Amino acid sequence: MVILNLPVQALQIQEDGTKDTLKVGRIINLEREFIDSFDSEWIENVRLGLLRFDDCAAAFVSADGLAVTTASCLRSLETWIRPGDTLFVAQDLSQEHALAGFNILQLIDLRKIDRIVDESNDVSDISRVDVIASEDSSYYWEYSWKIYDDVRLVMIPPVEISNFGNEDGVYPRHALDFALFRVYDEDGIPLETESYFAWSDRPPYTREALYIPMVNDDSFNIHSTLSDTFDYNGTTAPPYTTLYGMLDLYHSHGGTHDWTFPSGWNIHMSHPDLSAVLNFSVAGQCPQYGGPIIDIDMELLGIIFDSVYPEGNPRCVAVSTSGILELIETAFDSESLAEELAHQMRNGGDQYE
C-alpha cells in the first residue's frame, strides 16, 4: 500500500453522472487502481517539474529548460517585465527575449520537521527556505526553493487571441491563453532539466483520470476528471471547444469588441485543423493559474487559465496542449519549437522511468 504525506482533494464523476468528493488530511491511502501508479520517484519528478512565480504556476516541458504558463500570468507582471500585447515568436535561442527582473522558483525539497532549528543550510542549490507551521503548530513544513533569474520569452500569442471573448468565469471558452519561456542557468546556457512534463498531442479522454499538481503552502496534488456532464443555460456544456468555435464566435459577433482578431489572423486561421481542441474543463478546485494538468504518465494535456462555478461546483478551465501544438505548427509557423516539443513527446517518460 502506498501512503502519501500530502493533502489531496479528489473528485470523480461516475457513469451515472453523480459525483463523489473526498477531502482528506495530510495522510492518505491511495485507491487500489492508483497504488502502482504513484511512488516517491513519480512524486519527486512532478514536484521538480513545477515552477512558481508571484500568484501563478508554470511547468517545465523539455529537457532544455523550456516551460509553459499562461499569457495572462506573464502579462500581469510589473510593467518593466511584462511582454507586449502582440505576437512574439523566437525562431531560435538567439531570438529569445530576456525578461529582466523576472524570477522563477522551483521547489527542490519539502520536509516535515518537528521544530525550527536555526542552522545554515549547506546545499548549494537552495536559494531560499520557507518554514510553514501546521494548523495546530505541532509540526512544520520546510520548503527549499531554487530561484532562477535568467528567464527568456520564447512565444506568446497576441492578446486578442489569448484573451478571446474576455469571458473570465465562463465556460465554454475559446481562449489560447498560454506562453512559453526558457530558463537559463548561471552560465547563460539553457537549463538542463531531468524532470519535465512531456507535451501531449491529444486532448483528454472522457472520464480520464487527470492530475493537477500544485506547489504552495498547503497542497500538492488534486485528482480530477474531464467534465462532460454539467448543465448551463438549459443545455449541457461540451467537454471540449475547438478552433471551429472560435471562428464561429468571431463571425457571429462581426469581429468586434472582445471577439476580434489581430490584423492578418484570418489568414493564419486558414492553415490549422479547425477541429483541434482549444479548451476543456475538469472538475475540482483550481490551484494557481498557469499550472499543468497531467495524466499518470506525466504527459501535459492542459494549462489552467480560469475557474467556473456552475451551481457552486468548482471547475478548472484549461487550454489544450493538442490545440496549442496545432497552432505552433501552422498559424505560428515555428518549426523549431514544434520539433522541440515533438522530441520530448517521442522521449516522454524517460525522465522518471
Q: What DSSP assignment string belongs to 142-181?
A: EEEEEEE--EEEEEE--HHHHTTT--TT-SS------EEE
User: Which residues, 6 or more positions from 176, have their beta carbon under 8 angstroms from its beta carbon?
Assistant: 71, 157, 161, 162, 164, 278, 319, 323, 324, 327
Distance CA(10)–CA(20), nearest Å, equals 8
Please list the residues that pair with 145 across neighbouring strands. 107, 128
Q: Give CA–CA dist 345/116, Å, rounded.
A: 43
Sign of CA dihedral 138, 27, 225, 324: positive
Give the model confidence (pLDDT) of 271-326 as tens digits: 889 999 999 998 888 888 999 999 988 999 999 999 998 888 888 999 999 999 99
pTM for the model? 0.85
Q: Does residue 172 have a cis bond before it (omega within 30 degrees)?
A: yes
Residues 337-351 have pLDDT tens digits of: 999 998 877 555 444
Could you say which residues of the chain have pLDDT below 50? Answer: 1-36, 217-220, 349-353
Q: Where are the alpha helices (DSSP H) in the chain?
A: 32-35, 40-49, 71-75, 159-162, 243-252, 265-268, 321-329, 335-346
Q: Which residue has cell 499550472?
A: 291
Q: What is the per-residue pLDDT for 22?
A: 32
**What pLDDT score does 233 carry?**
72
Give the model's pLDDT for residue 217: 43
Residue type at 128?
Answer: R
Nearest C-alpha neighbor of 302 from the set 323, 276, 284: 323
Helix (H/G/I), strand (E/B), else coil: 110: strand
Q: What is the pLDDT at residue 303? A: 97
Phi, then psi, of 126 in degrees rounded to 5 = -85, 125
Instruction: Enumerate the domain spans of the chain.
Output: 3-103+149-346
